[in-house]
Amino acid sequence: MKPISRSFLAKKNTSLGAGQLVKNQETFAYRLFLIPLILVLVSVTLYPLLYNVYISLTDLQLTKPYRGIPFVGLENYAKLFSSSHFYATLTNTLLMVVGSVALQFLLGLALALLLNRSLRGFGVVRTLLLLPMVVTPTVAALTWSLMYNPSHGVLRYFLSVLGLQSPQWLSDPSLALFSIILVDVWEWTPFTMLLILSELHSVPADVYEAAQIDGASGLQILTKITIPLIKPLIGVVLLIRTMDTFKVFEKIYVLTGGGPGAATETLMFSAYRQAFGLFKMGYAASISLILLVIVLSLNALMLKATQTK
């Protein structure tokens, strides 16, 4: 073994010194391994985020380059909070999130409870159910826009078979947001279902057997045993789906473009339209930050709620 010359190591006996050296080398390697991640995260997340905060305090408009980047302080936010359009987009966003997440969750739970038994051929069913979430979202939206087509869409045909009149799915302002929610429910219900199902599988069968012997009804078993047991997972599912639904974009872009009027314009779409349709970067940045704050605080709230229970 090589003699160790550095004084702080030389005081200890040699084998301990070598062990310390290995430990130092390991710590060094562990830190080194993190450097690429930190570099990328700083440049593609942290820096853009801080830059975005700065932009939101300016009235940067790319259509007026001669004006430079005028600093306006909190003016964008003041403008936002006094604009009725902002509150309309906020309402649309909340309606979409609540409607879509509730439907995905209830449908997913119902399907998971139905499928929670050993069925032959379920492996194939599960694989097929993955398809809506892995299919390219713009393609999914395009498909639904063809199915919604009021003159030759297949939904019109299905309804006519049932003897029903087909509504104007996308051009009726009172229905357009629901039509977008329906596509989101189609895409993400399999996700909630498969997650709940995998949690149900982990509940031991004798729990149910014991309840049945004690004479519990199906509904009692569901509300008193199953739901409480999978509660933590339900929290996580709702959290993930809520965060993601705030960020729905492709469906609105392809299906309605925010219309008719502003009936399907959400905060996410509004920020996009202000930035890349009207090139009002400062105003758009402030909308996008409000969206971020809403998502993050809901995130924290729900996380806390699921952890305390």
Partner 1 sequence: MLSKKIRKLLSTTVIWLFIIFALFFFLFPIYWIIQMAFKTNVDISAFPPKFLFAPTMDNFAYVFSGVQPYTRYLLNSILVSLGVTIFTLIISALAGYSLSRHQTKATRGLIFSILISRALPAVTIAIPMYLTFRNIGLLGTRTAIILAHLSFILPMSVWITKSFFDHIPIEIEEAAKVDGADIWYTFFRIALPLARPGLISAGILSMIFSWNEFLFSLVLSNSNTRTMSVAVASFAGSVSLDWGRMCAAAVITITPMIIFTFLMQRYLVRGLLGGAVKG
Binding positions for partner 1, 35-94, rule CB under 8 A? 36-38, 40-41, 43-45, 47-49, 51-52, 55, 60
104 with 241: CB under 8 angstroms? Answer: yes
Angle at 105 between CA 101 and CA 108, to 5 degrees: 135
> Does residue 26 interact with partner 1 by CB under 8 A?
yes
Indicate the helix (H) or strand (E) that contains 18: helix 14-41
Residues in region 140-159 near partner 1 by CB under 8 A: 140-147, 151-152, 154, 156-157
In the numeric block, the tokens 């008193």 are attached to 224
Among positions 10, 14, 16, 27, the unique one binding partner 1 when judged by CB under 8 A: 27
Minimum distance of partner 1 from residue 187's CB (angstroms): 9
Report the alpha-carbon distance of residue 163 to residue 74 in Å, rounded.
56
Residues in region 155-194 near partner 1 by CB under 8 A: 156-157, 160, 186, 189-191, 194
Indicate the helix (H) or strand (E) that contains 230: helix 227-246
* Residues belonging to the chain: 309
Minimum distance of partner 1 from residue 268's CB (angstroms): 6
4 with 10: CB under 8 angstroms? Answer: yes
Question: Rounded to the nearest 5°, which phi and psi values hold at 71?
Answer: -80, 125
Bridge partners, residue 36, by sequence: none
The residue among 27 and 174 lying less far from partner 1, judged by its C-beta, is: 27
Binding range to partner 1, per CB under 8 A, among 6-14, 80-88, 119-127, 205-213: 119-127
Minimum distance of partner 1 from residue 304's CB (angstroms): 14
The residue among 257 and 260 lying less far from partner 1, judged by its C-beta, is: 257
DSSP character for 135?
Answer: S
Site string (238-257) toward partner 1, x via CB under 8 A? -xx--x--xx-xx--xxx-x
Angle at 204 between CA 201 and CA 210, to 5 degrees: 135
> Does residue 222 interact with partner 1 by CB under 8 A?
no
Percent of the chain as helix, strand, coil, to the nearest 5: 75, 0, 25
> For residue 40, what are the CA distances in angstroms to 34, 44, 50, 56, 278?
10, 6, 15, 23, 30
Among positions 20, 61, 171, 299, the unique one binding partner 1 when judged by CB under 8 A: 299
Among positions 135, 164, 301, 305, the unique one binding partner 1 when judged by CB under 8 A: 135
Minimum distance of partner 1 from residue 54's CB (angstroms): 8
> Does residue 302 interact with partner 1 by CB under 8 A?
no
